[in-house]
A and B are shown apart, each in its own frame.
Chain A
Amino acid sequence: MLLVLLALAVRAAPAERVLRVAYNEDVATFDPDDAILLFGLDAVRVLYEGLVQYKPGTTEIAGWLAQRWSVSPDGLTYRFILHDGVTFHDGRPMTSADVLAYFKRRRHPTLPLSYFLDGVDSMSVPDPHTFIIKLKTPQPAFLDRLASPWAPKVIGPAALVEHAGGDLGVTWLNDHADGTGPFMLAEMVRGQRYVLVRNAHYWGARPYFDRIEILIVPTMNQQMLMLQRGELDIIEHGYPFDQLDKVPAGLKVDAHDALGLEIAYFNRSKALRNRAVRTAVITAINPARWLHEVFGAFATPARSLYPKAMIRGPAPVVFPADLEAARRAIAAVGGVTLEIGYADQEAPVQQRIAEFMVSLLKGIGVTATVRSIPIDQESSMVNDLQRAPDIFIAQDYPDSVHPATQTGVFFETGAALNFFGYSNPTVDALCAQASRITSIAERDRQYLRISDILFADGAFVPLADIKDVIVYRAGLTDLGTRPALPWAVDYGTIRRQ
């Protein structure tokens, strides 16, 4: 009798399974409608769940809150059948009414990610398990939008009703979470750490870990030390590329294709107004000349203005190769001075790329300086092109795997990351057209044509497909990475062997 009790006692208190990760800085919020940055998505996706998601390691779409779905032949009506027994973190059951209430919230124009539901005509819930979205016009990319890491993910009534607080719960959701996901937000001490604990009521598969501790560690050196000492389990982003070939024993490297394409944006209102100069500059900054030094085996020259996981172009982009002609072109205008800007938050890597470019440009007679652009100034560069840098380099991610989200984020008139305000109605029309094509092969051909036009126009220069690299302690497996999910492992699936 005593032995049984003892055994029970031992069984009843297994050691808590903790996973420790690090962020460089605080997140603004985990609110899925308000969180627009690239990091923190790992936490968002285990706190909240969307209708559909990408399967791990692929660009295929699978169900999530929706167990199955159908699209009407005219492409306008999407019908989602929801899982049974889904509960929010506080235990309340989720019904289609909750989903509708949430989607309505998502559409509110004050929320930055409301554009995901542009083109939605109406939404309805015929019964507690069914959720119907009707579009105004067919959107072949719609399902990809719903699978995006930034897609709508259902927030519960605790946030939207009880703690709405007059701003749709935005303030409350800065420090709290109310979703359906396998983890709950237990602690949020800004500047120090966030703690996610396992949701005991989770409707789906039980995750391996009981606790995820997210530590705020600003310097990469510190993160690397902690990883070595076992105080961290994973570094999801930022491990120096030149040290990936000599990670200490006990650590492993996971490098997978992702959607982060390195692009050089040209400001064509200053020194680069001249086409011959642009061509000369492009000749000099050919990624083949510096890619290996910076990334080693972890990047390849771009094949088009789309990441290769999105559209695999037939061959790497062909850059002009005549350096002599480039030199002559620069000499012909009496020398050129350029400023290269880079995204500050990715400083070490981007600065290195920029300085390699400076070195190569010097070879053709161009004098260049380098300037870091803080993230809050990126979107205002377009307002004052004369003071903005001549070239801006950045590695950014589209919303999802569908090319329409690439052009819509980068190349179309008024796009969010169209840094220098490039506007070409022909291209816009072609993009609109291509977005309606359902045949994947046909669509890809169209999009590649757009890429050629843009490159020929000298506004966007595709540089490199850079792999997402995750360094983790040996023994961890089922990381659950996805090309569309930047800088993140899936805390729902990851486990220790």
Chain B
Amino acid sequence: MPGLEAAAICMLFVITLIAIIGPWLAPADPVVQIAAPYQPPSLRYLFGTDEIGRDMLTRLIYGVRLTWLPSLAVIAIGVVVGTLVGAAAAVAAGIVDSMLARLTELFIVIPSTMIALAAVAALGPGLWHTVAVMGVFWWPWYARIVRTEIKTIATRPHAEAARLSGVAGLRLVLRYLLPAALPSLLVTATLDVANVILVLSLFSFLGLGAPAPAPELGAMTARSLASLTTHWWIPILPAVAIFVLVVTANLAGDGLRSLMKTV
């Protein structure tokens, strides 16, 4: 695996670490003024201060936390629900399979972002509202993957051999069928992180998601665009952070995919 992709996988862990220990890592409070507003980046304030005089470095660290952890949560919900639905559909077959397949297609076809927007707007802005709603729309892709993989593998000789060994029911699915889907799931999930990050940023941009003055990266960029020419670090640094997160996730996904091929 090329060095770049290996580095990306390491970065993934670093980012997750930062996201988790963020509050202990950050030098200041993200909502409290610590210096005069509009200070440019300097040795004292590494990323400068924003329009309220808050430390940009702190806000970026909290911002990564606010973007990364919910993204992982959405993916986790999607994978878990999708696996359950996909496995159930593949194993049950017949009418249950048809119904679940139609349900999955329905979710894929409807304009999920718009409906999610409407749902979150109705529930009221709030980070976990957004995560829950997005999770509801994220699982269909994974259900499809799991269903296809399980259906494919069920016809292979080793599945027949397992049945002949007397394995049935849950044990058959969990031990002999589901693991076939894991490589695909893993790779898709990693590549999907980028999508989730972008959608979450979109939500914040539009004012949904975590309420202000929470340092959500998308919201920070959107609000301070007007200062692009005068105080460039306020909109550009959060945008760069989003970019780094998305690119890292994508590269890591590519790396995992090539890793899976050798397995």
Complex formed: what's the CA distance from A358 to B223 in Å?
17
Q: Does B32 contact A (CB under 8 A)?
A: yes
Contact between A359 and B212, CB atoms less than 8 A apart: no
B212's partner among A293, A362, A369 (CB-CB below 8 A) is A369
Closest to A352 in B: B51
Contacts of B36 in A (CB 8 A): 293
Q: Known: A352-B51, A359-B54, A363-B32. Contact between A370 and B213, CB under 8 A? A: yes
Q: A93 at interface (Cβ–Cβ under 8 A)?
A: no
Tell me which of A339, A359, A371 contacts B52 (CB under 8 A): A359
Give me the 10 closest cross-chain CB pairs, A-B, nearest first.
Answer: A370-B212, A369-B211, A359-B33, A359-B32, A355-B213, A362-B32, A355-B52, A358-B31, A221-B226, A358-B213
**Which of A219, A348, A358, A360 has the most B CB atoms < 10 Å from its CB?**
A358
Q: Does A243 contact B (CB under 8 A)?
A: yes
Using an 8 Å CB-CB cutoff, how does the interface string of B37-59 with A read, 1 for contact, 0 for none? 11000000000000111100000
Task: Indicate whether A372 reaches chain B with its CB closer than 8 angstroms.
Answer: yes
Does A351 sit within 8 A of B, measured CB to CB?
Answer: yes
CA distance A240 to B213 in the complex (A): 20
Q: Is B230 engaged at the interface, CB distance under 8 Å to the other chain? A: yes
Number of interface residues of A (CB under 8 A): 23
Known contacts A358-B213, A369-B212, A370-B213; is-contact A293 B53 (Cβ 8 Å): yes
Q: Is the interface of B mostly helix, strand, loop or mixed?
A: loop
Q: Which residues of B contact A363 (CB under 8 A)?
A: 32
With an 8 A cutoff between CB atoms, is B207 at the interface?
A: yes
B29 interface hit (Cβ, 8 Å): yes
Known: A293-B37, A293-B53. A370 touches B211 (CB 8 A): yes
Interface centre among B31, B37, B52, B207 (most CB of A within 10 A): B52
Q: Which of A320-376 contact B (CB under 8 A)?
A: 339, 348, 351-352, 354-356, 358-360, 362-363, 369-372
Taking the complex as formed, is B23 at the interface, i.e. its CB lies under 8 A from any CB of chain A?
Answer: no
Q: Are B214 and A369 in contact (CB under 8 A)?
A: yes
Q: Residues on A close to B: CB < 8 A? A: 219-221, 240, 242-243, 293, 339, 348, 351-352, 354-356, 358-360, 362-363, 369-372
Assembly CA distance A348 to B225 (angstroms): 11
Interface string of B65-76 (1 = CB under 8 A from A): 000000000000
- B125 touches A (CB below 8 Å): yes
User: Given the complex, which residues of B lie within 8 Å of A354, measured CB to CB?
Assistant: 212-213
**CA distance in complex: A69, B214 (Å):** 58
> How far, in angstroms, from A293 to B39 measured CA to CA in the complex?
13
26 example contacts (A-B, Cβ-Cβ < 8 A) are as follows A220-B226, A221-B225, A242-B38, A293-B36, A351-B223, A352-B51, A352-B52, A354-B212, A354-B213, A355-B52, A355-B212, A356-B33, A359-B32, A359-B33, A359-B52, A359-B53, A359-B54, A363-B32, A369-B211, A369-B212, A369-B213, A370-B212, A370-B213, A371-B125, A371-B211, A372-B207
| A242 contacts across to B, CB distance below 8 A | 37-38, 51
Whether the Cβ atoms of A356 and B211 lie closer than 8 Å is no
